[in-house]
Structures are given as C-alpha cells and as structure tokens.
Structure 1
Amino acid sequence: MQNNNSDRFARLRLLVKDEGLERLSESTVMVIGLGGVGSSCAEALARGGVGKLILIDQDTVEASNINRQALAFTSTIGQVKAEVMAKMVHEINPECQVYSEQIALDSDNMASTLSAYPRPDYVIDCIDTVLAKLSLMEWCATEELPLLSAMGAGNKLDPSQLQFAYIEKTFNCLLAKAVRKECRKKGIRGVEVLFSKELPIKVELEDDSVKGRALGTMSYMPPIMGQMLAGKVLRRLLGFETKARNVKFIGR
C-alpha cells in the first residue's frame, strides 16, 4: 500500500493493520449487476480497500433508479452504469484496478465473458433475473468459486429481517423460491444468499399492464443488502470469518 493511500484507509488500518490492508489490496472481487444492491456493494468494496474490482451490468441509469442506487443522480441519467461505477471507484481509490463492461449476461455468453477477466477471489451476484442468476451459479460451480447471491428486496420494508443462508433454507421470498426450484433441478448446491424473511407488502395496481414491474423499493433496503454482502466478503477476505464452501454440482 503506497503512502498516498495512508490517509484514505487510516480508519480501516486501525482495525485490520497493514497486513489486512495488503491482503485486501491483493484481492479481486467480481460484482455482477449494479443496481440498488450491486452499486452499494461495489462502493463498499472500493472504500474497503479491495485492489481489483470486476463490475458488470447491462443497463444505463434511469430516473427511477435515483431512489436507491448509489450511482444514480440527475447528472448520470442515460449513462452506462458500469462506466459510472468505475468512475466512482476511481474517485474513492485511484489505485483500485477496475474492469467494467456493459453486457447482458446469459447462458450463451456467461462463461466466455467472465472467464476473460482475472480469476476472482469472490463473486457477488446482484442480478435480478432468475435465468441469469442460475447461469452465474453454474459458472461458479464449474470454476469452483465462492459466490454470494442477493435475493429480492422489492416490496420489503424491514432490514432487520435480512439474513444469510444457503438457498435451501430460504423462505418468504419469491425470487429465492424460483431460484431454489431451479437449483434443485440442476443439482446446484452450496449457494449462499442474502434474503429477507419478511412477508412482502402487497402493492395495489391501477394499471394491470405494469403488473410485472410492480415491485416497490424503499431507498434503504437495496443499499443495506449491498453493504451486507460487501461486509461478508471483506470479513472473509481478511480471515475474520471462515470462507464459505464453493458452489458445486451434486455428485461432483
């Protein structure tokens, strides 16, 4: 860690010492999805001293993102999320090496896209679609990589009901239910997730045409989830927590 970073990470050094800062600076974390959860997660990792970040998202910033996404401002509307996030990371820590890409990941391009980047020490899934999540889980299982996956924050209000668990132990989350079902079909085990055990609020709709997009989101829920995911990974990179088992296929 160079001297010009001494003030930037002074408060962090008090807790993790020079050895911890060095370990973090040599770590690589991949964040897939830079929405409300992923953007706050990436920000926390950058502020936490991670030396190499791989940031991937398919979208551009929209006005509707402003209530919950760390990269969403009036000034960034219309900009590519991956590029905005990379700029934010460099503002936080210019020495962080950032790989960013705007791409829609699916089963056809997941392996070829992600394998082109440096091998991560941890993968954090902040994607909001089931099929892409499953493809990422399959890639992590094939590569024997540790993965943390965010479940749904929509229509939920109480952050105290967030908890980490393996996907088999989740409940009261529709996204987790769908992922759990597909994991059983594909024989995927060892997926650790952050989910909310809170029952979702029912949203009354005036227009049935927006039913598929009727997930309300509080300003604090996705960012808290992102911070919790980052915190779990930082603690494990530092050796404060036992590293979770890698994602795997049953019988392999």
Structure 2
Amino acid sequence: MEPQPPAPETLPTPTVPSAEAPSKPFKLHRRFDRTGRLLGDPAMERLSKARVVVFGLGGVGSYAAEGIVRSGVGHLTLVDFDTVCVTNANRQLHATVKTVGKPKAELMAQRCKEINPDADVRPLREFYRDELADQLLAPGSYDYVVDAIDNVKAKLHLLHRCVSLGIPVVSSMGAAGRLDPTAIRVEDLCETHMDPFAKDIRKLLKRKYGVNTDRPTGITAVYSIETRRQPLSLRYDADDGFSCVCPNDNDFHTCERRTQIDGSVAFVTSVFGMNAAGVVVRRLSVGR
C-alpha cells in the first residue's frame, strides 16, 4: 500500500507564539551535517525555528520548497489549489505518472516530510486571493514568503500585502519561454531588466496599489535577462489547436483561459526555484 499524503488543512489562521516555551538545547540532526558545516550551528538553529510559506507549487515553487526544507527550515506552509496534470511532468518535482490528478500541496508536503520528518509542514489546498488574504497570510505569521504564483491578479495582491505588512518576500518573475539557466538574475524588483513580465508587475503595482517601483521595493525578484521565446505549434494542435488536458477544472486559473501556453523546461524553472530558496535560506540564517 502506498503511503498516503497528509490531509490538507482548511484555512486555519497561523498562530503566532506569544512566548517561547522551554525547550531542549538545539542539536543539529545529521541529515543537515553538510549544510551545518557551511553555515554553522547558530544559523542552523535559526533556520529550524523559521516559518516560511510558499505560494504556488509548480515548476518554480516545488523546487523552492524542496530547497528550503533540505536546508533545515523547520516550519513550512505550502499553498496551491491545483492538481497534477500530465503536462507538469517535464518540470515539477511532484509530477509523475502515478501522481496525475492528485493535489500538489499534499504531494509536496509528503515529499518534504520524507526529507525531514521533524519539520512542521502544512499543505493548504487553496488559491491565494483577496478574500482569503487575512487567513493565508496573517500579520506576523511568517518570517519569509516565496511567491511562485503565475496568476497576475493574485501575484499583485500578494506582493502588495507583503510590502504593506513588512514581510520579506522573494518573487519569481517570468520563467517560461527561456532555455538558458545562466541568464537568471536576483535583484530588487526595481532593478529588473529585459523581462516583460517583471516590467508589467512593476507598472501594475504602481498603478493599482501605489507601490513606488522606481526605487527599492523590498521585493526580491528572480528573473531572466534572456529574451522570451514564443511558443511553437505542435503536430497534435493541427486539428483543433491547443486543447487543455488538465484533470480538474477550476474557477481561478485554467489553461483554457490563458491567452497563450508558453513552453518551459525543468533546467530553467528549477534554477528559478532554487535561487528563491537561496534568498530565503541565506537571509534567515543570518537573522534577517
């Protein structure tokens, strides 16, 4: 019998400890020996107590979550409303022939628990949106946010909320349509160049939420300076054009509602995700 993924939680508001309960002295587990020898015991203890949330568990977010849990972060919340589609298999960690149709948040939580059974990992099968913002991202609930959302409306609201609440956030810009992982950069959103998606995010954050994106925003962006490639038609598109094969429809973000379906590859989306994980781990390890 296959192990069952943990049951998803239903929108609890994350609790913020009012006082630290007495605990045993920190002792690094051997599974983190190599990371510990790079960062040291004090940094590993900080990571073990850190609380991180990842919004979006696709080709970028799944790798970000894995990089974070493999680095010793002790508390991780994984938010994604979607289920695995066969077209995810080329770039998403949880996508295999056995997982098609299963919830991404639950699958990724199970994977993270198999990496570190001592970690507190919570899957939330939800789509981030305005009316759930207070529950999914309560003030003081997390030390860092990873934004791997590809829905523009949701992304804008999430980034504005992080800025408003003063929660550190690292945000993935456009990973699709790229083939060169060496062209990926990490800068404040105001410093992003040659990425049309990042340009739109800057413009819309300023127009819709009044965020001054001409100066440092506090939003760390992972982006690519490679020119975005247009998607190619495939032979099976010949009769009817693109046809969505996702196992479950939803009211939030579907293939059928997109203006175009871009190509993407694992050796680019994974590097986006691991760069995001690197930002989180490096900054939390020094107490920032």
Alignment TM-score, normalising by the size of structure 2: 0.78
For the 8 Å contact 1:31–1:54, the answer to whether it is kept is yes
Q: What's the secondary structure of 1:75's corresponding residue?
A: coil
Q: Which runs of 5+ in 1 are unaligned?
A: 244-252
Summarize the alignment of residues 233-252 of structure 1 with structure 2, pairs less than 5 Å apart. 233-239=280-286, 243=288
For the 8 Å contact 2:52–2:76, the answer to whether it is kept is yes
Name the structure 1 match of 2:52: 29
What CA RMSD, in Å, does the superposition of the two structures yield over aligned residues?
Answer: 2.0
- Find 2:279's aligned residue among 210, 214, 232: 232
Deviation at 1:137, TM superposition (A): 1.2
- Find 2:184's aligned residue among 136, 139, 162: 162
State whether structure 2 residue 37 is matched by structure 1 residue 14. yes
Q: What's the secondary structure of 1:82's corresponding residue?
A: helix
Deviation at 1:2, TM superposition (A): 6.8
Summarize the alignment of residues 170-249 of structure 1 with structure 2, pairs less than 5 Å apart. 170-185=192-207, 186-189=209-212, 190=217, 191-205=219-233, 210=242, 212-239=259-286, 243=288
Name the structure 2 match of 1:246: none
Summarize the alignment of residues 112-191 of structure 1 with structure 2, pairs less than 5 Å apart. 112-115=135-138, 119-185=141-207, 186-189=209-212, 190=217, 191=219
- Find 1:61's aligned residue among 66, 84, 104: 84
Deviations 1:140-167 (A, max 9, x none): 1222111110001111011111111222
Number of residue pairs matched? 239
Distance in 2 between the 1:18 and 1:113 partners? 31
Structure number with the higher helix fraction is 1
Deviation at 1:220, TM superposition (A): 0.8
Bigger drift between 101-110 and 50-59 goes to 101-110
The one-letter code sitting in structure 2 at the alignment partner of 1:197 is: I
Deviation at 1:53, TM superposition (A): 0.3
Distance in 2 between the 1:113 and 1:229 partners? 20
Q: Which runs of at least 4 in structure 1 moved beyond 4 Å after TM superposition?
A: 206-209
Q: What's the secondary structure of 2:226's corresponding residue?
A: coil
Bigger drift between 87-96 and 168-177 goes to 168-177
Deviations 1:108-138 (A, max 9, x none): 222333228x711110100001110111012
Deviation at 1:17, TM superposition (A): 2.1
The one-letter code sitting in structure 2 at the alignment partner of 1:184 is: K
For the 8 Å contact 1:44–1:227, the answer to whether it is kept is yes
For the 8 Å contact 1:205–1:214, the answer to whether it is kept is no
The one-letter code sitting in structure 2 at the alignment partner of 1:168 is: C
Identity percentage over the alignment? 36
Q: Which runs of 5+ in 2 are unaligned?
A: 1-24, 243-257
Q: What's the secondary structure of 1:155's corresponding residue?
A: coil
Larger Rg: 2
Distance in 2 between the 1:14 and 1:204 partners? 46
Name the structure 2 match of 1:105: 128
Alignment TM-score, normalising by the size of structure 1: 0.88
The one-letter code sitting in structure 1 at the alignment partner of 2:233 is: L
Deviation at 1:6, TM superposition (A): 2.6
